[in-house]
């Protein structure tokens, strides 16, 4: 195993500046999957579980969604919420039991609500309730991708080391070109964030500047 004194951020910036592998690239049609941009994870002023990496993250996500709708391409929002018993969190909900614990994001709670800054189209967009890290796990996301004949999945939200990583790995495993706009994902600590961006970039996805993603979408108009 190689050892280093560099920070996760330093390693990430080196990898991005000197990519060792070619990109998967954009395909012909994409789906936008916004993973769990709910108050439990976005409202740092309200909840200890929330985090912010790029302060313009939600603005960028809204801009992506606007471009997708203009193209007639699908926009998906996921969130997590659980029964009072927490049993639908399964083994994932057994490691802690505090007010901040995952399984204590209850239905109809403020923690389960999407951030008010998001511009969700209640008529055109798709909303999925998920229980586990990946947006693909036991949701209808795969069927939606097939219906829309997409070959590219663009993933935003949080956390980078958790549900973003899980969704990106599942996306690649299903044969999709997977794009992670760097400014559109966030995590609790920069070490987890950049370490997972590095790993995603090397193995599972193209980690790109959001402006490049905007440019590709604009070129499809």
Q: Are 158 and 78 in contact (CB under 8 A)?
A: no
Task: Enter the tokens of residue 155.
Answer: 């993933």
Task: Enter the tokens of residue 5.
Answer: 């004194």
Task: Enter the tokens of residue 24.
Answer: 């998967």
**Structural element, H or E, at residue 9:** helix 8-17
171 three-state secondary structure: helix
Ramachandran region, residue 173 (left: φ > 0; alpha: ψ -120 to 50; beta: rest): alpha
Provide the b/e sequence for 51-77 (b: ≥16 CB within 10 Å). Answer: bbbeeebbebbbbbbebbbeeebbbbb
Selecting among 15, 163, 179, 180, the annotated active-site residue is 163
Residue 65 to residue 78: CA distance in whole angstroms: 14
Q: Is 163 designated active site?
A: yes
Q: State the distance between the two ends of the chain, measured CA to CA, in whole angstroms.
A: 47
195 three-state secondary structure: helix
Task: Enter the tokens of residue 184.
Answer: 């559109």
**Which residue numbers are catalytic?**
163
């Amino acid at each position: 195993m190689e050892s280093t004194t560099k920070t996760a951020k330093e390693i990430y910036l080196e990898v991005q500046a000197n990519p060792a592998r070619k990109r998967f690239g954009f395909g012909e049609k994409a789906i936008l999957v916004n993973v769990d941009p709910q108050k439990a994870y976005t409202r740092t002023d309200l909840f200890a579980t929330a985090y912010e990496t790029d302060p313009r993250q939600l603005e960028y996500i809204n801009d992506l969604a606007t471009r997708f709708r203009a193209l007639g391409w699908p926009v998906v929002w996921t969130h997590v919420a659980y029964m009072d018993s927490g049993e639908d969190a399964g083994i994932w909900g057994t490691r802690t039991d505090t007010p901040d614990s995952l399984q204590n994001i209850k239905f109809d709670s403020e923690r389960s609500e999407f951030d008010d800054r998001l511009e969700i189209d209640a008529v055109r967009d798709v909303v999925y309730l998920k229980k586990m890290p990946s947006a693909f796990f036991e949701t209808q996301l795969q069927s939606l991708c097939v219906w829309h004949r997409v070959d590219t999945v663009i993933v935003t939200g949080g956390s980078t080391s958790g549900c973003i990583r899980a969704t990106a790995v599942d996306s690649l495993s299903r044969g999709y070109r997977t794009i992670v706009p760097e400014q559109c994902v966030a995590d609790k600590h920069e070490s987890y964030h950049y370490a997972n961006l590095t790993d995603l970039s090397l193995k599972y996805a193209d980690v790109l500047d959001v402006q490049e993603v905007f440019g590709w979408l604009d070129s499809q108009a």
